[in-house]
């Protein structure tokens, strides 16, 4: 046993540490919200808002839209709703019908917003 001979220091391996850093980087990139793609504000029917004026029930079907039970195109929907409302803030009641998916509902809401109607309310 030679006590005068210095022991060689062992170098620390960096590969496992780099792997952990990359895994953490990937985790935080996948978990982070970089921004909201788009939001649509709707209110649920029956939350204390006052409904005034003629009926404005828009039923959303998979392939059609009905206003107060009458089939209309989206362009007709906007003009017909303009005749039924006093102001662009008037409530427009939306109801999804069987077979319609959420994307279809969102498309109709967006078209209403583009047409100037800012207060859609969703009911069952």
Q: Which runs of consecutive H residues, i.e. helices, occur in 1-124?
A: 15-31, 74-84, 102-114
Tokens of 58: 């828009």
Better-predicted residue by pLDDT, 38 or 109: 109
User: Tens of pLDDT along 61-117?
Assistant: 888 888 888 888 877 888 888 888 887 778 888 888 888 888 888 888 888 888 888
User: Tens of pLDDT along 105-123?
Assistant: 888 888 888 888 877 888 8
Confirm if 60 and 97 have CB atoms less than 8 A apart. yes
Q: For each of the domains in the chain, give its residue range(s) and CATH number, in order of start.
A: 43-123 (3.30.420.270)
Phi, psi of 5 (to 5 degrees): -80, 125
pLDDT at 94: 87
pTM of whole model > 0.85?
A: no
């Amino acid at each position: 046993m030679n006590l005068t001979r210095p022991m060689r220091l062992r170098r620390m391996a960096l590969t496992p540490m780099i792997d952990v850093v990359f895994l953490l980087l990937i985790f935080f990139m996948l978990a982070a919200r970089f921004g909201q793609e788009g939001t649509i504000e709707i209110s649920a029917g029956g939350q204390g808002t006052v409904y005034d004026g003629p009926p404005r029930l828009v039923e959303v079907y998979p392939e059609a839209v009905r206003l107060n039970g009458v089939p209309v195109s989206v362009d007709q929907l906007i003009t017909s709703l303009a005749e039924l409302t006093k102001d662009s803030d008037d409530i427009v009641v939306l109801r999804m019908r069987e077979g319609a998916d959420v994307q279809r509902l969102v498309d109709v809401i967006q078209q209403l917003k583009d047409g100037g109607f800012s207060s859609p309310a969703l009911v069952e």
